[in-house]
Amino acid sequence: MPMYEYRCTECDRQFEAVQKFSDEPLKDCIYCGGTVKRLISLSSFHLKGSGWYVTDYARKKDDTRKAGQQGCDGKKKTCGGS
Ligand SMILES: [Zn+2]
Work out whether strand 3-8 and strand 36-39 pair parallel, antiparallel, or are unpaired. antiparallel
Q: What is the pLDDT of residues 41-73, one digit of tens each?
A: 555 455 555 544 444 545 555 555 555 555 656
Work out whether strand 14-18 and strand 36-39 pair parallel, antiparallel, or are unpaired. unpaired
The reported pLDDT for the residue numbered 3 is: 85
Q: Are 6 and 36 a contacting pair, CB within 8 Å? A: yes
In the reported structure, the alpha carbon of residue 28 is separated from the centroid of ligand 1 by a whole-number distance in angstroms of 8
Amino acid at 44: S
pTM: 0.48
In the reported structure, the alpha carbon of residue 30 is separated from the centroid of ligand 1 by a whole-number distance in angstroms of 7
Bigger pLDDT: 19 vs 70: 19
Q: What is the pLDDT of residues 28-40, one digit of tens each?
A: 999 999 999 998 7
In the reported structure, the alpha carbon of residue 81 is separated from the centroid of ligand 1 by a whole-number distance in angstroms of 55
Q: What percent of the chain has pLDDT over 90?
A: 30
The 10 Å Cβ neighbour count of residue 3 is: 12
Contacts of 32 (CB under 8 A, 6+ apart): 8, 10, 11, 13
